[in-house]
Amino acid sequence: MSERRPGQWPVDEPVTLDSADQGGAYMQRAAERALHEMVLDSIRHDLQQQPTPLSVLTAARNWCTRITAAAEDIAREKREAA
């Protein structure tokens, strides 16, 4: 068994990003990560605009409710399409 943990440097078999498939996967992951960060930053910005701690928590609960409702709608649409 190796003394190193996964992701620890140096790696035994480094992966090159030269191939189109690996480079494409990397770029797709980077784009998905950027979108995720933009959404979270947008929510964080909205929460920071709230004047009181109670309104921050209320706004957060409203975000959670709206996200859950959207997820339920999308899940229902996907079930109907399947």
Number of structural domains the chain divides into:
1
Contact present, 59 and 47 (Cβ < 8 Å): yes
Q: What is the pLDDT of residues 61-76, one digit of tens each?
A: 999 999 999 999 999 9
Return the DSSP state at 18: -
What pLDDT, on the 0 to 100 scale, is given for residue 18? 62
Backbone torsions φ then ψ of 44, nearest 5 degrees: -60, -40
Residue 37 lies in a domain: no
Residue 33 lies in a domain: no
Residue 18 lies in a domain: no
Residue-range definition of the domain harbouring residue 67: 52-82
Please, what sign has the CA dihedral across residues 82, 31, 38, 57?
positive
Q: pTM for this one? A: 0.65
On average, the pLDDT of the chain sits at 86
